Amino acid sequence: MAYEVAAPKYVRLAQTIQSRIEDGTYAPGTRVPSENQLVQAFGMSRPTVVRALELLKRDGWLESRQGFGTIVRGRPAVVEQRSRRGRETLERDESQTPGRLVSVDRVSVPARVASVLGLSKRAEVLMRRFLVEGEGEAVELVSSYFPAGLVDGTDLGSSEPLGVGIREHLEGRKKVRYDHVTERVSARLADAGEAELLGLPDGVPVLSVLVAAFDAAGQALQVSDVLLPADRQELEDTYRLN
């Protein structure tokens, strides 16, 4: 049995406000609606609204200005930097990307993926694994996981490379809408199969970027584990000092 885990109300509200900032509804430099207006507009309690606004301020989308209220700052530079990996993963055309589709299998969901997809640890998911290559060596290994119910009626289970990005394919076939992406970066040692595909010497770690894509309601549509050989990466980040 699969269990769906909904995001907290304040997170869903923050995601909605963030989407309105990104689509220009709330333009940079303008004031967002007051707490009272947000309470009435979304039918949520004041504590929920306050927590959502604080989350957006913490992440750099909003700021409080004395005498002006809560102002839109726009898309934070740190989000712009970090979202590129996720965007590449969702929009990559496998048929035009140097590399190869390694495998397409139904597998037991890995623990690190199960909690994000809202599935039990015994659930089965579809995994597409693609090895990206460049200048004669492996660049990254992408393992993408999809809930079984989302795969029906799509070409995700095909052993042929997709001719469009996963996002475009799913939005066209399943009428879902990708809304936002989260990324979690960690370091670990590759298992034997991963090390072989990436051509890693013994003891060389990998950077794991866990990319999770959600719809506007906070439901996870896919999770991709992007493995990057640590000895071939230079990562740069940008952030604001408040």
CB 97 within 8 A of CB 89: no
pLDDT digits (tens, 9 = 90+) for 199-240: 998 888 988 989 999 888 888 899 999 999 876 655 554 444
Backbone φ and ψ for 210, nearest 5 degrees, come out as -90, 105
pLDDT tens, position by position, 87-131 = 889 999 999 999 999 999 999 999 889 988 888 888 999 999 999
Amino acid at 26: Y
Is the pLDDT at 6 greater than 60? The verdict is no
Can you give the pLDDT at residue 233? Answer: 56
pLDDT, tens digit, for every residue of 20-54? 888 888 888 889 999 999 999 999 998 889 988 98
As a whole number of angstroms, the distance between CA 163 and CA 59 comes to 35
Q: How far apart are CA 50 and CA 118, in angstroms?
A: 26
Global pTM value: 0.65
- Compute the distance between CA of residue 227 and CA of residue 233 in angstroms, rounded to an integer: 11
